[in-house]
Amino acid sequence: MNFARLICLGGFLGAVPVWAVYAPIPEQEQGKEWTVTLNAGISHDSNIFGSQTGAISSMVYEFAPKIAFNASLSDQTFASASYGLTIDHYDNRPGDKTLDSHDLAAQLDHAFSSVTTVHFSDAYSIVRNPQSLLSGVTLNTDQSFKRNAFDARFETNLAPQSGTAVKFQAVNYAYDDNTLATELDHSEYLIGLTGSYDVLPELKAVGEFRHADILYDNGGNTKDKHSEFLIGGVDYEVAKKLTASGRLGYEWRRRSGEASAQTPYVQLSLKYDYDVQSFISAGYVYTFEENSDVTNYNDTKVNRLFLNVQHALSPLLFVSGSLDYEPSELQGRRGVANVNETTTRFGLALSYLPAKNWRITASYDYDNISSDVPARGQNRERTGLSATYTY
């Protein structure tokens, strides 16, 4: 899974995958019910624990098999499921040198009619080698966690040009380390009601109400949050190869034991498919998100700008890049000043498809966190080479 570029809904934390290439990687469609993928790679990580000082670097050897099932169970029902194992071995790591991560996912879609559908999906991850390391925590050799994300959505059309959707999301985080678990274990819930209207065949107007709860397993009386959102926007197919989406709204957030807050909500995205297997996408998000130091800070106001590019140099050779730039402000608890913090993530990849089932990728990833609190700073570089076989 590539680094998450999907915009987080309602301030939810994005999925934190195991180590992956930031830049988009071209997929190889197999067109079969069962697909098996074998990936092996070698990389160098300059800061395996994401520490501000005393960074430890290491070579990392990875083997990652995955099996996936996709099929129509009937004319109206589609199902998919997958399991992926990732084994990382470090030649220079205190503690465990070999880490195993697991990803299990399932999805079910059913159409009651041409205008009424229901969607269910669940993804469970055991992450031993997080891609995005925690900022500002005491040097910890075990940032492993378990994450479960459940999503349900019901959609129907009440009139020929209008649509309605009800959605529910639940995400749970559980850290293995007792100290991190006490501070960070929590669940996030969101329920939303959406209405849409086709103003033109290529232009859809959207309005949405959301309610979100963030509930911590420990100390919830000082860390829980409850939010309401009112959001409006449009989805616009500007041209055959150009699409745009925009959402503007407002969030009212109630914090347990702390002052309430409110902020605008902004979500903008644009994608241009300028050639076969070549595209550029960009976007911007402004919202509240959780942070890794809940003792000193309530949450974070995030400005997130992202850019993704994939260009086919030939039918067999692709170059891709990705940039995330996040100037943010940590919202201090009573007696703690707000803190400015900027996160930059950058990735480049070159992929070669020597045969139908093969992909070879060379990649470079760069992470940098610049913070008014020096202990939260972080710098990390990863360079890798991998080969993937799919059948």
Considering only residues 50 and 103, tell me which one the structure prediction assigns the higher pLDDT. 103
Q: Check residue 29 and give its pLDDT.
A: 57
Which of 46-55, 219-228, 350-359 is the least confident region? 46-55
182 three-state secondary structure: helix
Q: Check residue 88 and give its pLDDT.
A: 97
Distance CA 355, CA 39 (A): 15
Distance CA 202, CA 212 (A): 31
Q: Check residue 15 and give its pLDDT.
A: 35
Distance CA 23, CA 345 (A): 10
Considering only residues 131 and 35, tell me which one the structure prediction assigns the higher pLDDT. 35
Q: Check residue 332 and give its pLDDT.
A: 96
Amino acid code (one letter) for 391? Y
10 pLDDT above the threshold of 90: no
pLDDT in tens, 304-352: 999 999 999 999 999 999 999 999 999 999 999 999 999 999 999 999 9
Cβ atoms of 365 and 344 within 8 Å: the answer is no
Asked whether the CA dihedral 112, 117, 120, 121 is positive or negative, the reply is positive
Band of residue 21 on the pLDDT scale cut at 50, 70, 90: confident
1 pLDDT above the threshold of 60: no
5 pLDDT above the threshold of 60: no
Cβ atoms of 201 and 235 within 8 Å: the answer is no
DSSP 33: S
Mean pLDDT over residues 219-246, rounded? 97
CATH topology of domain 9-390: Porin (2.40.160)
User: If you search the block for the tokens 């309401």, which residue do you land on?
Assistant: 228
Q: Please state the separation of Cα 196 from the chain's center in Å.
A: 25
| Average pLDDT for the chain | 91
Q: Check residue 375 and give its pLDDT.
A: 86
Distance CA 242, CA 279 (A): 10
The 3-state DSSP composition of the chain as helix, strand, coil percent (nearest 5) reads 5, 65, 30
Q: How many CB atoms lie within 10 A of CB 34?
A: 11
Q: Side-chain half-sphere of 192: how many Cα atoms within 13 Å? A: 27
pLDDT in tens, 195-212: 999 999 999 999 999 999
Band of residue 16 on the pLDDT scale cut at 50, 70, 90: very low
Band of residue 139 on the pLDDT scale cut at 50, 70, 90: low
Give 271: exposed, middle or buried? Use CB within 10 Å, 0-12, 13-18, 19+. middle
The residues spanned by each domain of the chain are 9-390
Tokens of 9: 């809904």
Q: Side-chain half-sphere of 42: how many Cα atoms within 13 Å? A: 2
Q: Give percent above pLDDT 90 in the chain.
A: 83
Q: Which residues contact 62 (CB under 8 A, 6 or more apart)?
A: 19, 39, 40, 41, 42, 43, 86, 87, 88, 89, 386
Write b or e for each residue in 72-92: b if 16 or more Cβ atoms lie within 10 A of its Cβ, otherwise e. Answer: eeeeeebbeebebebbbbbee
Q: Give percent above pLDDT 70 in the chain.
A: 92
Mean pLDDT over residues 163-167, rounded? 98
Q: Which residues contact 130 (CB under 8 A, 6 or more apart)?
A: 16, 18, 143, 144, 145
Q: Check residue 12 and give its pLDDT.
A: 33
Look at residues 5, 6, 10 and name the one whose alpha carbon lies nearest to residue 168. Answer: 10
pLDDT in tens, 36-85: 999 999 999 999 988 888 899 999 999 999 999 999 999 999 999 999 99
Q: Which residues contact 31 (CB under 8 A, 6 or more apart)?
A: none
375 three-state secondary structure: helix
Write b or e for each residue in 115-147: b if 16 or more Cβ atoms lie within 10 A of its Cβ, otherwise e. Answer: eebbbbbbbbbbbbbbbbbbbbbeebebbbbeb
Band of residue 20 on the pLDDT scale cut at 50, 70, 90: low
